[in-house]
Amino acid sequence: MNRVELPQWLAPLVDLAGTIQPADFGPLVPAQPMSGARASAVLLLFWEDTSQGTPGTPGDICILLIQRAPDLRNHAGQPAFPGGAVDPTDADVSEAAVREAVEETGLDPTGVEVFATLPEVSVPVSGFTVTPVLAWWREPSPVRPADLAEVASVHLVRIADLVDPANRLTVRHVSGRMSPAFDVDGIRVWGFTAFVLDRVLHLAGWERPWDRGRIEEMS
C-alpha cells in the first residue's frame, strides 16, 4: 500500500517499519537462531475510533487484541494479537496473519490494509518464529470470539490506555522470567504480546514515562 494513502496518524508506525532492526526487540531475539522453528504471523491491527469524540476532531487510536481460550496447549488464557502458524496455502506472512484474524475474530478482511511487516522474532517456549504484521483497519467490522476453542474474548484497546503509566508494570512469572505488562480492558497483557507492544510503543514515540520499579508476581 502506498504511503500517501495512509492516514497521517499511522506515520510513526510506517517510519518504524522502515527503520526497526531485529536487535530492537531486545530479549525477544535469541543469541542464536532457532532450528526447526515453525513460521507464524500476528496481526497488529490499528484504527482510529472517532465514534466517541467531536466530529472533525482526532479520535482514539486503537488496536485489536484477543484472549486465548483457557485450555489451549500453548499460551492458554493469555492475551495476544490475532495470529497463528503460516499454512502452505498462504501466499505470505501477511496473508497468514489476516486469515488467522478472520478465523479468530470474524472480522471482514476487505476492510484491512496491510502496510508493513516487522522483523521476525523467535519464541523458544512455543517453537515458533513470529512476524508481526502491521495493518490499518480502514473499515472496522463487528468482531467476536469466532472460534471458542481458541479465543475466549476479543478486545478493542485504546493506545491511550496502553501508554497510561497507571496501567503499566513489570511481572515476574513463576518460571522467574520478567515481562512488561499492561492492565487494560479487564485483562493483563504480558509475555510475547507485551514485549512487542512495549517495543512498538517506545520506538513509535507513543510511550509515556512509567514506573519500571513496579513489579508484581504472577500467580
Indicate whether 186 belongs to any domain: no
Task: Determine the pLDDT at residue 62.
Answer: 97
* Total count of domains within the chain: 1
| 208 in any annotated domain | no
Percent of the chain predicted with pLDDT > 70:
87
Determine, yes or no, domain membership for 112.
yes
Q: What is the mean pLDDT of residues 31-57?
A: 78
The DSSP call for residue 69 is -
Range of the domain at 22: 3-158
Task: Check whether 1 has a pLDDT greater than 50.
Answer: no
Tell me whether strands 168-172 and 215-217 are parallel, antiparallel or unpaired: parallel
Calculate mean pLDDT across residues 77-91: 93
- Look at residue 5 in the predicted model and tell me its pLDDT: 83
Residue bearing the bigger pLDDT, 185 or 121: 185
pLDDT at 212: 93
CATH classification of the domain holding 24: 3.90.79.10
- For the record, the C-alpha cell of 156 comes out as 478493542
pTM of the model: 0.92
Q: Is residue 197 part of a domain?
A: no
Please tell me whether residue 216 adopts helix, strand or coil conformation: strand
CA distances from 119 to 4, 16, 28, 49 (A): 23, 11, 11, 28
Which residue in 29, 34, 133, 38 sits closest to 85, CA to CA?
A: 38
Q: Is residue 187 in some structural domain?
A: no
Residue 138 buriedness (CB in 10 A; 0-12 / 13-18 / 19+): middle
Residue 214 lies in a domain: no
Is 217 part of any domain? no
Buried b / exposed e along 53-75 (16+ C-beta atoms within 10 A): eeeeeebbbbbbbbbbbeeeeeb
Distances, alpha carbon 175 to alpha carbons 127, 170, 178, in Å: 17, 14, 9
Instruction: List pLDDT tens digits, range 112-141.
Output: 999 999 998 887 667 788 999 999 999 999
| Mode of pairing for the β-strands spanning 38-49 and 178-184 | unpaired
Split at pLDDT 50, 70, 90, the class of 27 is confident
Residue 179, in any domain of the structure: no
Mean pLDDT of the chain: 89
Q: Which of 193, 135, 137 is nearest to 162 (CA)?
A: 193
CA angle 104, 108, 114 (to 5 degrees): 90
